[in-house]
């Protein structure tokens, strides 16, 4: 296990090789007797375009009947959405039984695979979220089996069931403008001569961490905003199930949120069980899963 402290934020990291080890690591770092409240982010999915209807649909294998769409989702994210939703629901049930005020958080990637040709992406996104009045059927079934319901899902200020990534990106861009003026973030112009700029955070080790480049907010920026939103909602502990390919920007986003904003007493645990096409627990844990814990 590795341990590091940067400013007021401490960080530990370990690798686990089974679901049992993952659950044990979570129980050590987020013991129910020490928590008043907890948010568990799981079931994260991307939106894909359905070729028949031209609409955006959840990238969850269990929700798709079309073989081509199932193969596309399987190759991209595997069983990650459904698997982490099931993990999250079971954990939420157990924490609730210990008297912890617990909620689920559903983060939706509403930009990466939204087509750029045809109808405007903003129109496709608006159409999806307007119609997203219930969780995917497979998610609802998992909640019922755990004795939970959609009322256990934390609403965002944008949508009653989801935290859209595009909304978090836009919110962070607005926050960044204010933070640059306050001198807490730095705006630097690139050497290309085009006038392009980036907004970066200078950490305690003297390293620049880019959050916005050429007007585009990266994943770290949106996670920074998500953590702030959860804190604003009154929760002081978060468990995040993130895809493996997103682990580093998610870690950066959490670290920056705890360093940049005034979020005392916050505890965040991040784990990356799959998300790159793994189709079984054997595949997921055969690659090992990283568990990172931040405390402010």
Residue 279 has pLDDT above 70, yes or no: yes
Q: Where are the alpha helices (DSSP H) in the chain?
A: 19-29, 67-76, 80-97, 121-131, 137-145, 165-181, 219-232, 247-260, 281-286
Domain-located, residue 173: no
Domain assignment of residue 284, given as a range: 2-165+236-295
The span from the CA of 105 to the CA of 40, in Å, is 6
What mean pLDDT, rounded, does the chain reach? 92
pLDDT at residue 199 in the model: 86
Q: Within a domain: residue 138? A: yes
Q: Is the pLDDT of residue 168 over 90?
A: yes
Among 181-185, 200-204, 272-276, the range with the most confident prediction by mean pLDDT is 272-276
pLDDT the model gives residue 257 = 93
In a domain, 176, yes or no: no
Encoding tokens for residue 78?
């595997």
Residue 253 lies in a domain: yes
In a domain, residue 75? The reply is: yes
Q: Is the pLDDT of residue 193 over 70?
A: no
**3 and 15 Cβ atoms separated by less than 8 Å:** no
CA distance 216 to 6: 27
Name the pLDDT band for 201 (thresholds 50, 70, 90). Answer: confident
The answer on pLDDT for 123 being more than 70 is yes
pLDDT for residue 71 is more than 60: yes
State the Cα–Cα distance between residues 146 and 97, nearest whole angstrom: 11
β 45-49/107-109 pair status: parallel
Ramachandran angles phi, psi of 15, nearest 5°: -110, 140
State the pLDDT at residue 2.
Answer: 62
Asked whether the beta carbons of 198 and 190 are under 8 A apart, the reply is yes
In this predicted structure, the answer to whether residue 3 has a pLDDT above a threshold of 60 is no
With respect to residue 174, please indicate whether it lies within any of the assigned structural domains.
no
Q: Say what the pLDDT of residue 210 is.
A: 81
Q: What is the 3-state secondary structure (H, E, C) of 147-178?
A: CCCHHHECCCCCCCCCEEHHHHHHHHHHHHHH
Q: Residue 194 above 90 pLDDT? A: no
Residue 188 lies in a domain: no
56 pLDDT above the threshold of 90: yes
Residue 5: band (very low, low, confident or very high) from pLDDT cuts 50, 70, 90? low
Q: How far apart are CA 76 and CA 94, in angstroms?
A: 31
Instruction: Count up the domains in the chain and report the number.
Output: 1
User: Over the stretch 237-268, which tens digit does the pLDDT of each residue have?
Assistant: 999 999 999 999 999 999 999 988 889 999 99
- Report the pLDDT value the prediction gives residue 182, as an integer from 0 to 100: 87
Q: Read off the pTM.
A: 0.93
- Please report whether residue 31 resides in a domain: yes
Percent of the chain having pLDDT more than 90? 75
Give the mean pLDDT of 85-98.
Answer: 97
């Amino acid at each position: 296990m590795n341990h590091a402290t940067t400013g007021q934020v401490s960080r530990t990291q370990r690798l686990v090789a089974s679901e049992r080890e993952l659950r044990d690591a979570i129980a050590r770092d987020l013991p129910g007797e020490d928590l008043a409240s907890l948010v568990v982010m799981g079931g994260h999915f991307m939106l894909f375009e359905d070729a028949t209807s031209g609409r955006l649909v959840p990238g969850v294998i269990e929700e798709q009947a079309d073989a081509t769409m199932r193969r596309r989702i399987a190759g991209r994210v595997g069983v990650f959405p459904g698997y982490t939703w099931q993990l999250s629901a079971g954990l939420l049930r157990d924490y609730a039984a210990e008297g912890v005020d617990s909620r689920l958080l559903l983060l939706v990637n509403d930009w990466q695979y939204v087509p750029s040709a045809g109808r405007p992406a903003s129109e496709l996104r608006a159409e999806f979220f307007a119609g997203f009045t219930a969780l995917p059927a497979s998610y609802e079934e998992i909640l019922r089996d755990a004795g939970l319901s959609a009322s256990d899902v934390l609403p965002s200020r944008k949508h009653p069931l989801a935290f859209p990534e595009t909304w978090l990106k836009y919110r962070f861009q607005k926050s960044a403008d204010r933070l640059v003026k306050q001198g807490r973030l730095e705006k630097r112009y690139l050497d290309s001569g085009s006038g392009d700029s980036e907004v970066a955070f200078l950490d305690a080790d003297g390293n620049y961490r880019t959050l916005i480049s050429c007007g585009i907010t990266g994943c770290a920026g949106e996670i920074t905003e998500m953590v702030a939103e959860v804190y604003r909602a009154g929760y002081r502990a978060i468990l995040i199930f993130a895809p493996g390919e997103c682990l580093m920007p998610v870690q950066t986003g959490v670290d920056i949120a705890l360093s940049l904003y005034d979020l005392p007493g916050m505890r965040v645990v991040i784990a990356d069980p799959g998300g790159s096409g793994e189709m079984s627990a054997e595949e997921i844990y055969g690659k090992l899963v990283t568990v990172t814990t931040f405390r402010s």
